[in-house]
Amino acid sequence: MRITVLGKSPSWQDPGGACSGYLVEETGMVLLLDCGNGVFGKLRSRVDYVDVDVVVISHLHADHFLDLIPYAYALTYSPRQQPVPVHGWPGTDNPARPRLLCPRGSRDVFRRVTGAWGTETLVENAFDLCEYDPDECLEIGPLRLRFHAVPHFVPAWAIEIVSLQTGGRFTFGADSAPTDELVRFADGTDLLMLEATLPRPERDGTRGHLTAGEAGDHAARANAKQLVITHFPDELGEQWVRAEAERSFGRAVLVAREGETYAL
């Protein structure tokens, strides 16, 4: 299994960057995990968008799903997707329609977003949309997916992806406040990817994110073999984020960079 960072930014993008998006590939299966602002263009630099088999969304914040909109426009209006020949494209009776697995309530959210200016069914028409049951374990080709609720400002789900070929286990923490639930869900994982949005904990109100130090602590308690820190603003700087995470993790930490690939 190979995991490639397409975007690692938090809700505001780094210069030239993209928000949450990760490409997961295993033996002919192409999975896109999250599709935040700027991710569709980064995806196109790596794979052909019609070759993506499934898109999985962790939660319904814009920086994790907003580029489903340009993706849906491409699937709907690009020349290759038309039923008749268009300038070099022969026409097709079987246009690509990737499977879209997203949290409950997604259909209504996508309709409200795209209905603000146009066709409210844009996303569900372009993709094979399914709102997943987080209590179910899904097998999709050579991959197995599990979900676990984590505390955030909206319902959010940590996602485990296991290669049925190699046994490699990748756990994505999504966006989350500190929680023992995530530690238990990730216990013993080969690669744990955790957000580190905050330079310090929120001063008041409901918590929804981790600091780099908290991410390192979660990974240490989960006995993760490797920790990748992601979803942090470039203003914090890689060196500071890594040092904070390593202090609590107790060993070397990887810091997500766009284009970087991890093999399991």
Cα separation of 52 and 16, whole Å?
23
Which residues make beta-bridge pairs with 18?
Answer: none
Strand stretches in 118-257, DSSP E: 128-131, 138-140, 143-150, 156-163, 169-172, 191-195, 226-230, 254-255
How do residues 10-53 score in pLDDT, each as one tens digit?
999 999 999 999 999 999 999 999 999 999 999 999 999 999 99
Number of residues written out for the chain: 264
Going by C-alpha positions, the residue among 60, 15, 62 that lies closest to residue 37 is 62
Count of CB atoms situated within 10 Å of the CB of 184: 11
- Residue 137 class from Cβ within 10 Å (0-12 exposed, 13-18 middle, 19+ buried)? exposed
Claim: this prediction has a pTM higher than 0.85: yes
How do residues 166-210 score in pLDDT, each as one tens digit?
999 999 999 999 999 999 999 999 999 999 999 998 888 889 999
Q: What is the mean pLDDT of the segment spanning 122-134?
A: 97
Strand stretches in the chain, DSSP E: 2-7, 21-26, 29-33, 54-56, 99-102, 128-131, 138-140, 143-150, 156-163, 169-172, 191-195, 226-230, 254-255, 261-263
DSSP classification of residue 64 = H
